[in-house]
A = this chain, B = another copy of it.
Amino acid sequence: MDKEKTKYLLEEKDMPTQWYNIQADLPEPLPPLLHPVTKEPTILPPPLFVDELNKQEFSKERYIDIPEEVQSIYRQWRPTTLFRAHRLEKALDTPAKIYYKFEDSSPAGSHKPNTAVAQAYYNKKAGVKRLTTETGAGQWGSALSMACMYFGLELKVYMVRISYQQKPYRRNLMEVWGAKCVASPSPDTQIGKKFYDENPNHPGSLGMAISEAVEDAATHDDTKYALGSVLNHVLMHQTVIGLETKKMMERIGTYPDIIVGCVGGGSNFAGMFLPFVKDMIDKKHKPKIICVEPTGAPSITKGLLAYDYGDVAGMAPICFMHTLGHAFIPAPLHAGGLRYHGMAPIVSHMVKLGLIEAVSVPQLGTFEAGIQFARTEGYISAPETDHAIRVTIDEALKCKQEGKSKVILLAHSGHGHFDMAAYDAYLAGKLEDFELPEAKIKEALAQLPQIPKK
């Protein structure tokens, strides 16, 4: 074992210079985005998004050039490492070969900078001076803070209050990079003030923070809005993950039988699997692709595939996606990045086409898996990533039972350095699994927008 290679690295010159756009290869096009008021097909609202991102959102070009200014920042940490998990395999005594693509090494510690840097660049190029966004656990807010720092943009982050209080280090990180971060609901917006005045200690939700950030951008001339997941252009920016992985695996001379990743809005995992889905569409390979979501926010496994708002206030465009309803209030999971009520339309579309599948896992087992990973591979993973590790371990144990030496590829989306309190709670026996009452989902789904039939 020890003599086998542990890390597989591409050189800087092998970093992708184009993003892959799955829309060029879809056997069936995506349903249109609808305007939140007229409910007619629409583009991304121009007061919120610059032209270039709007173009990318609906583009049918297969490959889109990554500007040199974006590449030069990617090169600070990309290409990222592909690890072979020798020690985990040995601990599991499995014939499976486990690889993990390690997005932890960006300064912000996750995959989020892949799109944050691109979005900051296009906004800067269009003359925008200031961005707004929301963040739950803080991975996206900190990534965009870093990106805005690189391009000299101002940034205001609306951070879900419960996370703002539980994860002060994430807020500190944003401030070190120069962003302004406030707890949401805040008194700074009309929608926020309504909730804030009722209860200044309101815990907030991602949908509510989105509404605040959108309102801020819509009401300030020099300001645009940035979203960290869900939208097509965001997922496309993440495809550098999968493109690098495919290239490296080709060099190793292997191909994954199973690909596993966690999904909240869907961007990290889609970034990994979309280049592999291309191989499925091209009938070259047929890997099993598994989206892992928490049982506390199971949008694919328990939600509906339907038109729904992206935010609580119904100001954002209406997407056709797997949703638990925009009024859904998720369980207070430590994996804050997986608590969104909806799922990226592209990911939802892939599920519908039967190209990928989804499972949901309860919280306790994910921390158990994260600790097993830390005690073999060394690295401390984000609670979000622990969801994917749980299923990776389960699949590797199945291989052992079946005596099959499958190749499992894990999308390791980020580190858990700012989530240690969650591990502490787990080790102290203070965490629990959540039973999500079916009635609660039904109630939220009853509030889906009514879309006139054509």
Contacts and interface: CB of A to CB of B under 8 A. Distances in A.
Interface residues of A, number: 47
B169 A421 contact: yes
Interface string A1-15: 111011101011000
Contact of A9 (B9, B109, B150, B173): B9
A190 interface: no
Contact of A374 (B71, B87, B176): B176
Interface string A361-381: 000000000010011011110
Contact of A107 (B107, B176, B380): B380
Interface string A170-203: 0011011110000000000000000000000000
A371 B176 contact: yes
Interface string A207-218: 000000000000
A264 B171 CA distance: 29
B421 A377 contact: no
A374 B177 contact: yes
Interface in A1-39: 1-3, 5-7, 9, 11-12
A76 B377 contact: yes
B12 A72 contact: no
A12 B176 CA distance: 34
Nearest to A78: B7
Interface in A414-439: 417-418, 420-421, 423-424, 427
A46 to B, nearest CB: 30
A431 to B, nearest CB: 13
A108 B379 CA distance: 8
A149 interface: yes
A379 B177 CA distance: 10
A222 interface: no
Contacts of A109: 417
Contacts of A1: 72
B424 A146 contact: no
A69 interface: yes
Contacts of A172: 420-421, 423-424, 427
Contact of A169 (B68, B105, B417): B417
A168 B83 CA distance: 29
Contacts of A427: 172, 175-176
A75 interface: yes
B169 A378 contact: no
A388 to B, nearest CB: 18
Contacts of A5: 12
A76 B6 contact: yes
Nearest to A375: B149
Contacts of A75: 6-7
Contacts of A3: 68, 72
Interface string A247-286: 0000000000000000000000000000000000000000
Interface string A117-135: 0000000000000000000
Contacts of A107: 374, 377-380
Interface string A61-81: 000000011011001100000
Contacts of A178: 375
Contact of A150 (B12, B176, B378, B418): B378
Contacts of A6: 12, 72, 75-76
Given A107-B379, A176-B427, A178-B375, 8 more contacts: A6-B72, A76-B377, A107-B380, A109-B417, A168-B424, A169-B420, A172-B423, A175-B424
15 contacts: A1-B72, A2-B72, A5-B12, A7-B75, A76-B377, A107-B377, A107-B379, A108-B378, A169-B420, A176-B371, A176-B375, A176-B427, A177-B374, A177-B375, A417-B417
3 closest residue pairs by CB, A with B = A107-B378, A172-B420, A2-B72
